[in-house]
Structure formats: structure tokens, C-alpha cells
Amino acid sequence: MVQLLGELFEYVLAIDALTVELILELRHPILTNLMTSVTGLGSVAAGLAVVGLFYLAEWREEFLVTLIALSITAVVVAVLMTVVQRPFPTQPVCLTDGAGTPTTSFPSGHAAAVTAYAMVARNSDELPFRSVATLAAVVAVSRIYLGTHFLSDTVAGIAIGIASVMIAERVLACTDLDAVFRKLPQ
């Protein structure tokens, strides 16, 4: 079993390395500007803005599912980054730096967050699912393109985003939403 897991891990690393090589060949200044522009939509600040907008718009279910899902995502991503300690792709792949950059690459919190938005939109009467899902896909790809994550980091982030929304929906299915909203400030 351990040998099988080792082989699987080596296979994932090989795919990650091939993806890095492909990205280096595809880089173009216009595409880099686009990716740099959209990648921030998966940030913590963007998540707070999304939750706040849902609350102000009185989109009750979207607000609660997103709030719970992003909370779950934040905890899971922080724990995995601390435990796994996977280094970022090395230069010249990594185009981002600065105080806002996480210290490890696994998993992608940005990919987890934008996937959560897309999962919330799939059941929403208010949100355009196709547009949100397309934007989520572009943000997830931007994390790989900009070299802040490997492909496997981003895939793990997507899985975390999906799971966090599924858990949030299960929690809320057992909750009286009217009672929750009566307790929130108007």
C-alpha cells in the first residue's frame, strides 16, 4: 500500500512538472495581465466582499452557505498548508510575491474559494451559474499560470471548495433559516 501511494505521489509530481513546462511555453504578456487581474478574486478580501454583498442583497441562502463554506475552506486550507509545507514552484515560474503571498503552495485557497462561489451559484436563483463557474475556472487556472500553485495544489483546492459547500448545505438543511436571520442585525 505504501509503495502504491509512493508511486501515485511520483506520478502526481511528474504531471505537475509537465504542467509547469507547458505553462512556461504558453506565457504571453497579455495573458499574464489577464491572469494577474483575475487571480485576486479568490482572495480572503474578495471572499469577505462576496459574503457582505450577499448579506446586503438579502440573498439569505447564498449568504449562509457561502459564509459557512468559506469558513470551512479557510480552516482546511490553513491546516493542510501547515501540515504539508509544499514549497511553491521555483522561479521563473512564480510571478507573484509580496506580503499577501502564502508561504506554502498546497492546497490552493484561491481555487477552493472560487469553486465554493460556483457551487453556491449552481443552486441560486440570483446568481448566473455559467458566468460564476467560468470565472472560477479562470481564477483556478490563473493560480497555475502565475506559478503560485502546481496543478495538484489547484485540484486539491477545487475538491475542498466542493466539499465545503456540500457540508454547508447539509448543515443548513437541518437549520431553521428564518430563526438564524432573525438573530442577525438588520
Low-confidence ranges of the chain (pLDDT < 50): 99
CA distance 148 to 90: 9
Which pLDDT belongs to residue 99?
46
Q: CA gyration radius for the chain?
A: 18
Query: What per-residue confidence (pLDDT) applies to 60?
Result: 86
Measured N-to-C along each axis, helices 44-56 and 60-84 cross at an angle, to the nearest 10 degrees, of 160
User: At 145, is the secondary structure helix, strand, or coil?
Assistant: helix
pLDDT reported for residue 157 = 97
The whole-angstrom separation of Cα 125 and Cα 101 is 35
The reported pLDDT for the residue numbered 134 is: 95
What's the CA gap between 65 and 145, in Å, rounded? 29
Positive or negative, the CA dihedral 142, 146, 148, 153 is positive
Tell me what pLDDT residue 102 has.
Answer: 57
Ordered by where they begin, the domains of the chain are: 2-183 (1.20.144)
Joined together, the cell numbers standing for residue 149 give 500553485
The pLDDT score that the predictor gives to residue 5 is 81
What three-state secondary structure class fits 120? Answer: helix
Whole-prediction pTM: 0.87
Contact 114, 136 (CB under 8 A): yes
Q: Which of 100, 102, 76 has its CA nearest to residue 88?
A: 102
Q: What are 53-87's pLDDT values in tens digits?
A: 998 898 988 999 999 999 999 999 999 999 999 98
